[in-house]
Amino acid sequence: MRAGNGTITTFDPPGAGTGAYQGTTGAGINTEGTISGSYEDASTVSHGLVRASNGMTTTFDAPGAGTGAYQGTTGRFINTAGDISGWYIDGSNVVHGFVLAPATATATTLTSSLNPSTYGQAVTFTAGVASKAGTPPDGETVSFMSGKTTLGTGTLNGGSAKFTTSALKAGTTSVTAVYAGDSNFASSTSKAVKQVVDKATTSTKLSSSANPSTVGQSVTFTATVTPEYSGTVTGKVAFYDGTTLLKSVAVGGGASTYTTKTLPSGKHSITATYDGSADFTDSSASLTQTVN
């Protein structure tokens, strides 16, 4: 596609072949910027295509089009109403003309089951796809997107598709639902849902390997950090004897350990403080270590 300013944009639909006599042919464009054409797959079978002005490409095959080499559907011209004319070659290599009416416009909506949610908490996004001609066929795919990143997909059933995730990061994520369309129903994209995800709380437990212990005896303190819902806890745990920092240790596998044999005799108020992360809040726990 070459714009009026000289900018050239290339495109190939999924399935376009890369061998001799294969690839993509753009044949017509209307005032809406919709392109008609065709592509040849790796078996040199031709298929029609429609590329909307937003870049969404829909492919189609005329009923009766052959599936052998140099057979199939060739889209050519498109008018202002979106009607496409062309030809197809059947299984006996007989050529037939066709006119394809434009796909029925659709509207896609998106809702969240829980907004705001908490990190690690399951959220279900539901997309609804409708048109004046009814709902698209069951089994077609809706993609749930964050920008250009696909979060997941759902399958239409009665005009509705669902996607559930507990992996959204803390903060605000803009989510849209994209229906790809087909030869009868045009593609559409929902308005964005701004999903707010709060940090998850944590709880910290502290244990001692020997309590009471004796002077010079090795003692290991273990701080276990548990998230409110799910997810991998990252960050560090700081171990204190009263207000004195003993050591700061990274969390691994949900826990941090600190071993010492230098505690003097007496009672020690040992505290483990998890410092939190981008997805988790901080928490702490304490115990009294007796050293004889």
State the Cα–Cα distance between residues 135 and 129, nearest whole angstrom.
6
Q: Tell how strand 171-179 and strand 188-189 pair up.
A: antiparallel
Residue 125 in tokens: 């996004």
pLDDT in tens, 52-68: 888 888 899 999 999 99
pLDDT in tens, 81-100: 889 999 999 999 999 999 98
Instruction: Kindly give the residue spans of alpha helices, DSSP state H, lying in 113-209.
Output: none
Q: Establish how many alpha carbons lie within 13 A of residue 192's alpha carbon, considering only the half-sphere containing its beta carbon.
A: 11
Q: SS3 for 283?
A: strand
Which pLDDT value is given to residue 7?
80
Lowest mean pLDDT among 48-52, 99-103, 271-275, 282-286: 99-103
Residue whose C-alpha is closest to residue 106's, from 187, 196, 3, 7: 187
State the Cα–Cα distance between residues 78 and 36, nearest whole angstrom.
6
Instruction: Round the CA-based radius of gyration of the chain to a whole number and report it.
Output: 31
Enter the pTM of the model: 0.70
State the Cα–Cα distance between residues 252 and 250, nearest whole angstrom.
6
Q: What single-letter DSSP state applies at residue 197?
A: E
Residue 222 in this model has a pLDDT that exceeds 70: yes
Exposure letters 234-251 (e unless 16+ CB within 10 A, then b): ebebbbbbeeeebeebeb
